[in-house]
Structure 1
Amino acid sequence: MVETEAGRAHRRRELREFLMSRRARVSPAEAGLPEGGGRRRTPGLRREEVAVLAGVGASWYQWLEQGRDISVSPQVLDAVARVLRLSDAERRHLYVLAGLNPPPPGVEPGRRDMCDGLRRLLNTWMPYPAHIMDRYYNFVLYNDAAVSVLGMRSDVTHNCLVDFFTDPLYRSRARNWEHTARTVVAQFRAACSASPGDEGFQEVLARVKAVSEEFTRLWEERDIEDPGQIRKELDHPLVGLLCVEATALKVPARPDLTIVLHTPLDEANTAAKLEWLASPEGRRGAMYPVAG
């Protein structure tokens, strides 16, 4: 979309206010500057200090903070972001205000351990299946319903893509496996395409190609599809047909993870069957152990 002159002026005003507010938050001591330097009229760093610490000209930084129409590069913005101690979200916001495409979201160091909160989310989703996988489709967490319905368990490869093509238990339950397989492969290609050269994706790709000719055939068709929703029809040994819709969700604070929630569809009395499977009676009748 073409930016209007009014929109450009608004963005530059926001850039000026944002940089001034972030600069005021950083003390000279936090920036590694020596104490002293005379009385400061305002808190935080001076413009000249930000420029020196970022390795840019004082005039250039002043123009940037004034919102002037100047050329900026990702490298320089990253240097300014480092000096101003911006979070990942603030750094991407700086890119947008400067008129550049923001970098992909990263994981804040303080948010790397969110397992307890995410586990509560999955347990709250009971009696419906839910699981979390990393960017390479490796299992991170799953609830009890994912075990009893989808067959997730500890003695498989722990990679959703590999298990989809190699786990005979899941294969025996999936009525629409062939149709779903095409979507799964197309979505994995989209993930690979978004991270060219990522060795983690290449390792998974090599693993699944080595064990599944079906995957290799579908991969060579080069279909590509963004993650979204997938209809699944499962033939469960205890309750028969289950019709669910799998929805892939992202958590902005953990862009490296994907939450997959399975919602019962209004078919085959699926919701009631899932509730029964999660009940004490259903657990006792389960053919496969439920993770504790």
Structure 2
Amino acid sequence: MSRRARVTPAEAGLPDGGPRRRTPGLRREEVAVLAGVGASWYQWLEQGRDISVSPQVLDSVARVLRLSDVERRHLYVLAGLNPPAPEVAPEKRDMCDGLRRLIDTWMPYPAHIMDMYYNCVMYNDAAAVVLGMRSENTQNCLVDFFADPLYRSRSKSWERNARTVVAQFRAACAARPDDEGYEAVLAQVTAASEEFTALWEERDIEDAGQIRKELDHPLVGLLCVESTALKVPARPDLTVVLHTPLDEANTAAKLEWLASPEGRRGAMYPVAG
């Protein structure tokens, strides 16, 4: 009722009814006509009665009431249906400046942001120095995990983590079946790595979470970090990956040194490995 009251007849393409109109916003009958449902059925929907509801009808009602994506998904929950996958609201697409500030503030620890297809959207300086992220890579985190020789040479935990990375990617694909974007990435990484193909055939599934990484950096030696994948509800298409130093191998101090002027000068010169 509250969402119906905020939509004017003019906004819905109806006559405003003149000064005699008492109901703020749209009447139930008007919503029913615009959504293509019966007036009694719509009244029962507002009253929360035990009626049969389809996703298609809810989408029609959401369109008439001009519900946002989060309101539309909430309507599904109220009706007892599984909500659709979240979408990015147009007014939230300009959040990248704030996310850039987030990963830059995470310095001197590595951080990067991926889109839903594992394409790297942005990364901070520490991710470049520690993880080897650079412009000449494919800029797809899954493909580079398997095909980037620099990262492979540094990662001491690569074999242990590869199974988890593939299982998490399969879970992401399963959430959006027949998505051409995932199919394109799958074709690319399959062509690039037989190891990926073998793990993919095992059909393991795992939610994104935390991964322990052990890296052998050419300037400071062993680094032990824990990567955490975080979702921003307003940008469900993006994943923020933050790397936190573990209490091993003096990792925090080493990362701080790599981000210092002295460490940056050292990183400017080629080092074996």
TM-score tier after normalising by the smaller chain length: over 0.9
Q: Report matched runs for 1:1-292 at 5 Å.
A: 20-36=1-17, 39-287=20-268
Q: Please tell me the root mean square deviation across aligned C-alpha atoms, in Å.
A: 1.3
For the residue of structure 1 that corresponds to 2:222, the secondary structure is strand
> Which ranges in structure 2 are unaligned for 5 or more consecutive residues?
none
Counterparts of 2:23 and 2:203, CA distance in 1? 58
Q: TM-score, normalised by structure 1?
A: 0.90
The 4+ residue runs of structure 1 with deviation greater than 2 A are: 34-38
Superposed CA deviations along residues 193-216 of structure 1, whole A, max 9, x for unmatched, are 111111111111111111111111
For the residue of structure 2 that corresponds to 1:89, the secondary structure is helix
Contact 1:111 1:254 (C-alpha < 8 Å) held by counterparts: yes
Q: Tell me: CA distance 1:121–1:273, structure 2 relative to 1, closer, same or farther (3 Å).
A: same
Aligned AA (2:211): I
Counterparts of 2:144 and 2:234, CA distance in 1? 27
> Which ranges in structure 1 are unaligned for 5 or more consecutive residues?
1-19
Q: CA deviation at 1:267?
A: 0.4
Q: CA deviation at 1:32?
A: 1.4
For the residue of structure 2 that corresponds to 1:190, the secondary structure is helix
Count of residues paired in the alignment = 270
For the residue of structure 2 that corresponds to 1:186, the secondary structure is helix
Counterparts of 1:127 and 1:25, CA distance in 2? 48
Counterparts of 2:20 and 2:80, CA distance in 1? 35
Identity %: 86
Q: CA deviation at 1:218?
A: 1.2
Contact 1:129 1:145 (C-alpha < 8 Å) held by counterparts: yes
Q: CA deviation at 1:182?
A: 1.1
